[in-house]
Structure 1
């Protein structure tokens, strides 16, 4: 997770949430499990929320819980698509400022076209794969699970 851009603490919080059966923890539970300050958890959660990787919810005791669930992954991809779309718009505005036909404007237009294609492809792929997030995996032995993951191109978190 750190290699994909998360800070060390953000990655620790994500892994902690992902590896709980409930998929959610309170701030105090995260503090206790990770042995860090409440401020550290608060900062990490704020960043993870800004990336649509974690969501807040209230439990029956009205405590705030931080959750990762199946839809969080889809929502994270949707947030990525929105970010890419903004970059496309900014690049195209830059073309107008620099003047069409200038080397810098041509470069920006190519960036915009590239990002537009990638954003549309990511949106389409996320929508097509969304049902995977809700599928119940078949019970398999460890060796067949790893060969299945390899043959389907899946990677672990």
Structure 2
């Protein structure tokens, strides 16, 4: 399992996720029940509890991991939902709208007739396209999952 954790964590790190957060995320993802404590992660990955804490803080911010506590226990459990990729990637409407607004402001700042303006406008149009296409992709995914 450690070989898989390190390989997938490297894939995630190569795509932009901080390496320690990637290792912690995959450590939780690969758990049979989708949950691990900080001490379990530290032991599994051979890292300090402080490294786990920093990684989990990042993963919570990007909504890949949630923190839960069992009633009567003092230990937090870090959890990945079975459908977390779906929710993480589909709940982006406001973020995409924000990108579009900021890019429109950037376009006005650099000028529509400049090469930079053309690049910014193309980027804005892509995010607009993606935002409008996402509901169709979500519907296709849901249909595929229902038919399994």
Bin of the TM-score, shorter chain as denominator length: 0.7 to 0.9
8 Å Cα contact 1:84/1:116 also seen in 2: yes
TM-superposition CA deviations, 1:42-67 (whole Å, max 9, x none): 11111111221111112133432110
Matched, 1:65 2:92: no
Alpha-carbon spacing, 1:29–1:112, altered in 2? closer, same or farther (3 Å): same
What residue is the counterpart of 1:111 in the other structure? Answer: 123
**1:81 CA drift (Å):** 4.8
**1:22 CA drift (Å):** 1.2
Please give the alpha-carbon distance, in whole angstroms, between the structure 2 residues aligned to 1:45 and 1:65. 11
What residue is the counterpart of 1:32 in the other structure? Answer: 43
C-alpha RMSD over aligned residues? 2.6
In the comparison of the two structures, how many residue pairs are matched? 136
Alpha-carbon spacing, 1:131–1:16, altered in 2? closer, same or farther (3 Å): farther
- In structure 2, the residue corresponding to 1:94 is in which secondary structure? helix
8 Å Cα contact 1:25/1:67 also seen in 2: yes
**Structure 2: runs of 5+ lacking an equivalent:** 1-11
TM-score, scaled relative to structure 1 = 0.71
Please give the alpha-carbon distance, in whole angstroms, between the structure 2 residues aligned to 1:56 and 1:127. 29
**1:123 CA drift (Å):** 4.5
Please give the alpha-carbon distance, in whole angstroms, between the structure 2 residues aligned to 1:130 and 1:70. 14
**Structure 1: runs of 5+ lacking an equivalent:** 138-157
Alpha-carbon spacing, 1:50–1:124, altered in 2? closer, same or farther (3 Å): farther
